[in-house]
A and B are shown apart, each in its own frame.
Chain A
Amino acid sequence: MPTPVITANALTKKYKDFAAVDGITFEVAPGESFGLLGPNGAGKSTTMRMVGAVSTRTSGDLTILDMDPNEQGPEIRAQLGVVPQADNLDTELRVRDNLLVYGRYFGLPRAVIAKRADELLDFAQLTEKAKAKVDDLSGGMKRRLTIARALINDPRILLLDEPTSGLDPQARHILWDRLFRLKEQGTTLVLTTHYMDEAEQLCDRLVVVDKGQIMAEGSPAALIREHSSKEVLEVRFGSDKNEGASAKLEGIGRLEVLPDRILIYSDNGEAALVEVVKRGLEPITSLVRRSSLEDVFLRLTGRTLIE
């Protein structure tokens, strides 16, 4: 394995008595697309801030590109691209100027920045908006500009904190397409998300994080294989009847009783549904689907990702 670009060992961040990140250990290889999946408040953003060399760790070790962020913050940040959870574009500057000025923060020569800015506007599909005001852009456009801005220094690692949070489905797909291209070009991506479909689409490998700790690690497919069944049968009996029905479902497969539905984990969903009906139950709706990271998370934490 090549030398990892990020190595975290028992990494911890405490705010007074509260441990936002509680001893997590992981490595990210160059060119890898690595994800932190977990609900809001799991410690993902805090981890990202430490990796981004803008937050000092309370204890543990962290090495980024062979440097210690406590000692060499500016040098590390010079090699990173950061897409924060909330856009922080410079609203006093126009779209292209945002890229030019940001490039200057890295101390890059003007000619290099100008050339790169035009390429990035093209990549972010914003060439026609070059002279627009930032406030006039749509949410998806702002996000793409933030990503373009994060690429102005040709970073070795791109950090994305909830990259598609708050975007409509179409804007998300455009963004995923752009990120997938970066991945194909070999950019190392580190992203946090609480969307399982996003994690499945973009991550080679991910860690499931909850309450500041890592619950599981692996590729999306391996995690699903390891912690869930091949298929899931979802049945609904009505809000107050789910609990009662679950008693009669014992033995068909592992059950998860949620307030609005029951999940039955089985390698053959259709066969499970036949068995449910055979036991005299009549679900209002039923659905057979493949297992997802959502199921993995539910299995590991007993909670759903989006609450």
Chain B
Amino acid sequence: MTVTSTRQSSGGVRALYSGNARAVVGRGLLATRSTNWIIVLTGVFEPVFYLLALGIGLGGYIGGVQNAQGDTIPYAAYIAPALLAVSAMNGAIYDSTWNVFFKMHFGKLYQGMLATRLGPLDVALGEISLALLRGAAYGLTFLLVMQALGLNLAWTAVLALPAILLIAFGFASLGMGITSYLKTFQQMDWIQFVMLPMFLFSATFYPLTVYPAPIQWFIQALPLWHGVELVRGLTTGALGPVMLVHLLYFLVMIALGLVFTTRRLRALFLD
């Protein structure tokens, strides 16, 4: 008989992770294939409609916009990268909020998963990877549409794909942690309440310089602005050292999001 000492807290990656997030991803792909791939598909069209209506339609009246380097670029080429960043964000957010909410409260899916060898970090990484895959699929499709419409102005547009993966990862890891606090459908609406203004005001449709300074600072603190500027820099070829700041912002967001979500899953299911 082994007698072990009493430990109040427990920790260590060993108690949280079994290196098997791919099983969670596999489950998600199988479930998507058999039930809701049509819903997944609809998300592809939303940013395309925005691009056609605002970029091509409204853009015809506006003409050109000055980018950060002072060059004038077509309006459609100005908002397309922003919509690309938004589509990555939306794909990631949808998967990491609504889908996670349902699995947490109705499907009791995580309860079942965490009764196995899987730890909370496996579940978090697996679910976030799914959201990432979705964000990547949306992003790639949109990037191809941009290419077809001649809106990718520089070869660095290729790098927009890894950039939107980074953006999706950041939003997904944070989104899942936040969702874990929400208990009702009404509370889920709050997410939409935050997402919509962020989408409209994060230098998506016009430069940040239209705002007074304090509002500029506020928006520059939000993740979507960094995403928009990162992708815009890459697709328009307006690169500068500030790109590294955007990159760093998302790396920190991912790290914090992962720690946060893992802790929440642990608190909820391994109390």
Q: Is the CB of A101 within 8 A of B26?
A: yes
Q: Is the CB of B4 within 8 A of A105?
A: no
* Contact residue among B5, B20, B35, B270 (Cβ-Cβ distance under 8 Å from A105): B20
9 closest residue pairs by CB, A with B? A70-B10, A88-B108, A92-B31, A105-B116, A104-B23, A78-B117, A82-B115, A74-B18, A88-B112
Q: Is the CB of A74 within 8 A of B119?
A: yes
Given A70-B15, A93-B30, do A153 and B116 touch, yes or no (CB 8 Å)? yes
Given A70-B10, A92-B31, do A105 and B269 touch, yes or no (CB 8 Å)? no
B interface secondary structure, majority: loop
Q: What 0/1 pattern do residues 16 to 36 of B give for CB contact below 8 A with A?
A: 111010011011001100110
Q: Is the CB of B107 within 8 A of A90?
A: yes
CB distance from B21 to the nearest CB of A (A): 11
CB distance from B13 to the nearest CB of A (A): 10
Given A60-B6, A74-B15, A153-B116, do A101 and B111 touch, yes or no (CB 8 Å)? no
Q: What 0/1 pattern do residues 21 to 57 of A give for CB contact below 8 A with B?
A: 0000000000000000000000000000000101111
Q: Is the CB of B10 within 8 A of A101?
A: no
* 12 A-B pairs (CB sep. < 8 Å): A54-B114, A54-B269, A56-B270, A56-B271, A70-B7, A73-B10, A73-B15, A104-B23, A104-B27, A105-B27, A105-B117, A107-B20
Q: Is the CB of A74 within 8 A of B17?
A: yes
Q: Is the CB of B6 within 8 A of A61?
A: yes
- Collect the chain B residues with CB atoms within 8 Å of residue A82's CB: 115
Q: Is the CB of B30 within 8 A of A97?
A: yes
- The count of residues in chain A whose C-beta lies closer than 8 Å to any C-beta of chain B is 43
- Collect the chain A residues with CB atoms within 8 Å of residue B196's CB: none
Closest chain B residue to A74 by CB distance? B18
* Contact residue among B4, B18, B24 (Cβ-Cβ distance under 8 Å from A63): B4
Closest chain B residue to A7 by CB distance? B1
Given A54-B270, A55-B270, A105-B23, do A77 and B12 touch, yes or no (CB 8 Å)? no
- Collect the chain B residues with CB atoms within 8 Å of residue A4's CB: 1
Let me know if B2 is at the binding interface, CB within 8 A: yes
Complex CA gap A71/B9 in Å reads 9
Let me know if B165 is at the binding interface, CB within 8 A: no
CB distance from A29 to the nearest CB of B (A): 11
- Collect the chain B residues with CB atoms within 8 Å of residue A78's CB: 18, 116-117
The residues in B between 214 and 271 inclusive whose CB is less than 8 angstroms from any CB of A are: 269-271
- The count of residues in chain B whose C-beta lies closer than 8 Å to any C-beta of chain A is 40
- Collect the chain B residues with CB atoms within 8 Å of residue A201's CB: none
Let me know if A66 is at the binding interface, CB within 8 A: yes
A interface secondary structure, majority: loop
Q: Is the CB of A90 within 8 A of B109?
A: yes
Let me know if A102 is at the binding interface, CB within 8 A: yes
- Collect the chain A residues with CB atoms within 8 Å of residue B26's CB: 101, 104
Closest chain B residue to A49 by CB distance? B271
- Collect the chain B residues with CB atoms within 8 Å of residue A93's CB: 27, 30-31, 34
Given A77-B115, A78-B116, A94-B34, do A61 and B4 touch, yes or no (CB 8 Å)? yes
- Collect the chain A residues with CB atoms within 8 Å of residue B113's CB: 105
Known: A52-B115, A61-B5, A101-B26. 15 other contacts (CB 8 A): A4-B1, A54-B115, A54-B269, A56-B270, A63-B1, A68-B4, A70-B15, A74-B15, A77-B117, A90-B109, A92-B31, A93-B34, A94-B34, A106-B117, A107-B23
Q: What 0/1 pattern do residues 146 to 174 of A give for CB contact below 8 A with B?
A: 00000001000000000000000000000
Let me know if A3 is at the binding interface, CB within 8 A: yes
Report which A residues bind B (CB closer than 8 A).
3-4, 7, 9, 52, 54-61, 63, 66, 68, 70-75, 77-78, 80, 82, 84, 86, 88-94, 97, 101-102, 104-107, 153
* Contact residue among A66, A70, A71, A97 (Cβ-Cβ distance under 8 Å from B2): A66
- Collect the chain B residues with CB atoms within 8 Å of residue A68's CB: 4, 7
Complex CA gap A89/B1 in Å reads 35
* Contact residue among B18, B31, B115 (Cβ-Cβ distance under 8 Å from A107): B18
- Collect the chain B residues with CB atoms within 8 Å of residue A77's CB: 114-118
Closest chain A residue to B15 by CB distance? A73
Interface-centre pick from B14, B20, B24, B112 (highest chain A CB count, 10 A): B112
Let me know if B39 is at the binding interface, CB within 8 A: no
Complex CA gap A52/B10 in Å reads 15
Complex CA gap A245/B16 in Å reads 62
* Contact residue among A3, A59, A88, A102 (Cβ-Cβ distance under 8 Å from B1): A3
Closest chain A residue to B1 by CB distance? A7
CB distance from A10 to the nearest CB of B (A): 9
Let me know if B148 is at the binding interface, CB within 8 A: no
- Collect the chain A residues with CB atoms within 8 Å of residue B107's CB: 88, 90-92
CB distance from A190 to the nearest CB of B (A): 14
CB distance from B6 to the nearest CB of A (A): 6
Let me know if B3 is at the binding interface, CB within 8 A: yes
Complex CA gap A238/B246 in Å reads 81
- Collect the chain B residues with CB atoms within 8 Å of residue A101's CB: 23, 26-27, 30
Complex CA gap A86/B119 in Å reads 21
Q: What 0/1 pattern do residues 68 to 103 of B give for CB contact below 8 A with A?
A: 000000000000000000000000000000000000
* Contact residue among B14, B35, B115 (Cβ-Cβ distance under 8 Å from A71): B14
